[in-house]
Structure formats: C-alpha cells, structure tokens
Structure 1
Amino acid sequence: MKNVLSIQSHVVFGHAGNSAAVFPMRRLGVNVWPLNTVQFSNHTQYGHWSGSAIDAEQMEELVEGIGAIGVLPRCDAVLSGYLGAPEQAQAVIDIVRAVKAANPQARYFCDPVMGSVNDNGNGCKVEPGIQEFLVRHMPEVADALMPNHSELQRLVGREIETAEEAVDACRELLQRGPKLVLVKHLLDRNSPADTFNMLVVSEREAWLGQRPLYHFARQPVGVGDITSAIFVARLMNGDALRPAFEHTLAAVNAVVKTTYDAGRYELEIVAAQDQIARPREWFDAWAFDMA
C-alpha cells in the first residue's frame, strides 16, 4: 500500500483541503498521512470562519517526528494544497527535500492554491505572498503541478483562452522541471457552454477530457481538492497517465452529480464513495498531437 503525506488545510465542518482529499484517497486504497496547514471552522467562502494556521516550524517538526520513528522512507509521495502563510510554502519545500532524502523515489504533487474571487466577491482567500512564492519556486521543485485555469495563467504570466494555448502553457511549465501538469478546470472558448474541461500534459502525452457542467446556485468548494487527491491516488496505484486522468474525471463527476442531485452545497463525498472507486459513468479523453 502506498503512503501519501498530504499537506493541506483542515476544516471542522464541510469538505475542503484535507477534509476533502483524505477520504477519497483512502477509499482508493492509498494510506494518507494528513498534515494540516490550518485549522478552520469551515472554508472561507462562507464569508466567516475562525481558526488559524500552524507555524511553519511546527510543520517541519511534525515531519521530523515521523522521521524519528523510522517511517519516513515509506512515504511514497507528498501532496500539498492550501497554505496558510508564505513561510509554510518554504516549509513544504524543506519537507519535500527531507522525504526525498529518505526515499529518493518519492514524488511531489503540488496543487498551487493561489486564491480567487468569484462574481459575488467571495472566493478562496490566501495570505499575501503565497501566490508569488508558488509561481517563483514550485515549478522547479514539483514532480507534478495541478493548477486550475486561473492558476495556470498566473504560473505562465499570460491569458489563456483555448485548449491549444493551455497545452502550450503546460509545455512551458514542463521546461521548468515538472514531469506532468494537470489542469483541473480548463476554460476553453471553443468548448460547449455546458461542459467542464480538464487537461493533463506530460513530455509525450496530452489528454483533454470533458464531463457535464452542473449549474449550482452556489458552486461547492473542494472540487479541486478531490480532483488532485483522486489523480494522485490513481497514479500511486500504478495507473498510466490516461486511465488515471479518466478515472479522476469520472469519479469527480460522480461526486459533483451526487451533490447536485441532493441539492447540497457541501460535497457529498461519503454518499458517492462507491463511485469514487468504481464510477458508473465514464468519459473518454482524447489526445492532442504532441509533435
């Protein structure tokens, strides 16, 4: 069984960060070691929350504690997501280096959460300085980057309007170090308005996938977190790139559809757990020419 050190936020109520990612990975047969970057009452899009970030020094101390009992060599991957302070971003890099020193085969998957604001003025809020750190440093450190559309634009410093432009942007990022880039939500002006696009690009492959777009009155939070988690779990379980990507697309669709059909705001992860493992609907990806 593979072991993933998941460094993300934690909410007491609801599903975001580790509170969204840990259960799907475990349901897929991956052992997860959660390291929470923040402890919040709920996610920030409610407009009110309480809690705080843990110290970056404490994050490193916790990993040192894992090393002290001799299990750090068993860590197969690090997944990082929401960070509560810029100092935590440097701590993540130090932790990744410690894990790779203990297990040179370990991989680092970076979900570069940079924050966003929606049309209603709400959104995922991150502290100043985090975005700049992620853009400047993480592509050189990560084995895989998993941005959404907005984050991909910030990583390459330009607007992206089509899937072809997104593939070019991913290729540009690959030149900085990562082995693959998963775009968890791709906005493509040429796609039908009722589709949700995802893209994954490696040195030799590029796959585009689409699932239905569900028109929530209030979009649920945590979809990106479960997307990254399921993709990492499938890769850790030995899937090649395309089947890992297609399983991720189908499993996330199952969670989102279950949530939509139930009329819920928080993701119905537990209710959809069987489909996380064995999705009933499947969406075939198609390849871009990488010549």
Structure 2
Amino acid sequence: MSVTVLSLQSHVVQGTVGNSIAVPMMRAMGVRAWGMPTALLSNHNGRSSVAGIPIDSEQIDAMVSALDANGELKHVDAVLSGYLTPRTGPAVLRTVERCRAHHPDTMWICDPVMADMTPDGHIRAYAPDETVAWMKQAVHRADVVVPNLAELGILTGTEPRTLDEAIDAAHSLTGPRFVVVTSVPYREDDGDAIAMIGVMGERTILTHGPLLDNHFNGSGDLTTAVLTAELVKGTSPDVALGKAAGVVHDVLKRTATHPGDELDWWPEDAIAQPWKTVILAPNAPSRVGRSS
C-alpha cells in the first residue's frame, strides 16, 4: 500500500528548491507526495529578481479543510515542512494535528530553514527574528528535525563547529525523536570531508564522504525529501541517513559539472547507493515513529 507525504513548502517556477525538488524526488522514490505551496515564486528568493504570491495561513487552512472534507487527510502518513514564518507556521501545526486526528502516528518532519554557515565559520541567519523565535518554540513538537550546523546552533543556543560539538548539541535538543544534522565538517585520511549525523535517544549515527566545495540551492530540501521518503516507508534511521547522503552526493556531483545553481537531478537518482553508516552508540529504537 502506498504511503503519503503532505509537503508544505514554497513552489518555484524555475529552479529546484522547496516542493519543486521535494515532491518529484519523493514520487521517484515510490512515495505518494502532495505538494501544498506556502508561497508561489518565480525562482529562489536569493536571486536578484523574484516575484510571486505569498500563501497566508487562512488559505492553507482552507486547502487543508477541503482535503479533509474530501476524505483525503486520512491517507497522510507524514507531514513535511520547509521554510515557515510566524504567519504560515501555525497553519502547518494545525495541519499536523488534523492529520493526527485520523492517524495519531502521523510524523512531522521539520526542516527548520533559517540560516547557513559563512565560509569563515560564522552563522548567517536569513530568516527574520520573529521567524527564528517561532521556530525555536515549534521545533520541539516535531518528530524529526533536519537542521544544518548553523540552524542547530540557533535552535540549541550553541556554536557547534566540530563533529563532537554537533553531536552534543543535537542530544540537547528536546522533543524530536530523531535529529539529523547536515553539513558537518569532517576530516578523512585524504583530506576534508562532509558528514551527516543522526541522533536518536542514546544512539548516534554517522555517515561521511567527499566534500564538494560548492553551494547548491535546494540541497537541503533534497536531503530532507529523501530522508522523509525513506522514513515514511519504514526504513531504519541508519539506512535512511545513508540513503539521503548517497542520493544528494550523486546529484551534487553531477550538478557541479554544469553552470548555474539548479540541481541537475534525475528520477534514476532515487536508486543511488547509500553511504555507509556507523553507529556510535547502540542503545536506541530501530524505527522512527510516534506512540499511538
């Protein structure tokens, strides 16, 4: 039986960010993905020109109500959210609760899009202060949280720079059952690398591989989409983490050979080989989910 993800993120006409990458990738991975826009934009808002239409909370609530009236919310197994504001965020929380009214075990996977790291290792927040304040409160209600290193620092009031500091900060984040941290610096025998860590209870999962020294818009959205697709299908957290790293690396490696910042992805990337994972601490459940 097919599993369903309701993804609330922005939609762009040109580019591969938000639902414009998350929905097609999850569908390629065998998940029934429904994309509900939180904004309709011409392109990524980091470009010199952008135009579009914001979707306010009343419109989101109305669309969710229509889905519910049509008997569709009962099919939702997970809700995925990306960039949120204090206006759209509460509507997402209401959506999660409405889905859980049908299925108490519906997961909320939250990508707390707020910031990134500058080349010299400082946190660069691009979300307004009110969005940051709202997210710091809301994230404790999520089942799975997928911050990058900068966002982890904001959420925990820390300044993680190393692998050990990232692990400690992720363990300090209360509420979520599974915390996945992306873009963690790592050192391999042959040079600089990149790591992802997953913290679940007492267990820490680590995967790492070659560092591609480029910035690609949408790579975080792609990571969370692959992770969500695997988790909602019942894949174990360690395998899901390795799969996300493997798919994203293959896409970014291909993208690096082409001009522009649009991800060069193909449906065939859904079968990319997962990176190897290492369990640093063994005592934790083997699946991600909610208690009914």
**Cα distance 1:115–1:51, how it changes in 2: closer, same or farther (>3 A)?**
farther
- Corresponding position of 1:289: 281
Q: For residue 229 of structure 1, report the CA deviation from its aligned partner.
A: 0.3
Letter paired with 1:286: V
Partner of 2:265, secondary structure, is coil
**Cα distance 1:132–1:192, how it changes in 2: closer, same or farther (>3 A)?**
farther
- Corresponding position of 1:195: 193
**Cα distance 1:70–1:178, how it changes in 2: closer, same or farther (>3 A)?**
same
- Corresponding position of 2:165: 165
- Corresponding position of 1:44: 45
**Cα distance 1:158–1:204, how it changes in 2: closer, same or farther (>3 A)?**
closer
Letter paired with 1:2: V
- In the alignment, is residue 268 of structure 1 matched against residue 269 of structure 2? no
- Corresponding position of 1:179: 177
- Corresponding position of 2:246: 250
Deviation by residue 1:160-212 (Cα, 9 ceiling, x = unmatched): 12212211211111xx2111001122235899753121111101421111122
Deviation by residue 1:15-67 (Cα, 9 ceiling, x = unmatched): 11111111110000001111111111110221321113111111111111100
CA contact (8 A) 1:161 1:189 kept: no
Alignment of 1:86-165 (within 5 A): 86-116=86-116, 118=118, 125-139=126-140, 141-165=141-165
CA RMSD, 1 decimal: 2.1
- In the alignment, is residue 5 of structure 1 matched against residue 6 of structure 2? yes
CA contact (8 A) 1:156 1:169 kept: yes
Q: For residue 159 of structure 1, report the CA deviation from its aligned partner.
A: 0.7
Q: Aligned residues, how many?
A: 279
CA contact (8 A) 1:78 1:107 kept: yes
How far apart, CA to CA, are the structure 2 residues paired with 1:249 and 1:187? 14
Partner of 1:109, secondary structure, is strand
Which one has a larger percent strand, Structure 1 or Structure 2?
Answer: 2
Partner of 1:178, secondary structure, is coil
TM-score (norm 2): 0.89
**Cα distance 1:256–1:50, how it changes in 2: closer, same or farther (>3 A)?**
same
**Cα distance 1:94–1:279, how it changes in 2: closer, same or farther (>3 A)?**
same
Partner of 2:132, secondary structure, is helix
CA contact (8 A) 2:38 2:54 kept: yes
- In the alignment, is residue 277 of structure 1 matched against residue 270 of structure 2? yes
How far apart, CA to CA, are the structure 1 residues paired with 2:30 and 2:125? 29
Q: For residue 249 of structure 1, report the CA deviation from its aligned partner.
A: 0.7
**Cα distance 1:77–1:247, how it changes in 2: closer, same or farther (>3 A)?**
same
Q: For residue 289 of structure 1, report the CA deviation from its aligned partner.
A: 3.0
Alignment of 1:14-53 (within 5 A): 14-53=15-54
User: Given the alignment, which residue of 205, 225, 237 partners 2:221?
Assistant: 225
How far apart, CA to CA, are the structure 1 residues paired with 2:3 and 2:128? 32
**Cα distance 1:192–1:131, how it changes in 2: closer, same or farther (>3 A)?**
farther
Gaps of 5+ in 1: none
CA contact (8 A) 1:162 1:190 kept: no
**Cα distance 1:185–1:215, how it changes in 2: closer, same or farther (>3 A)?**
closer
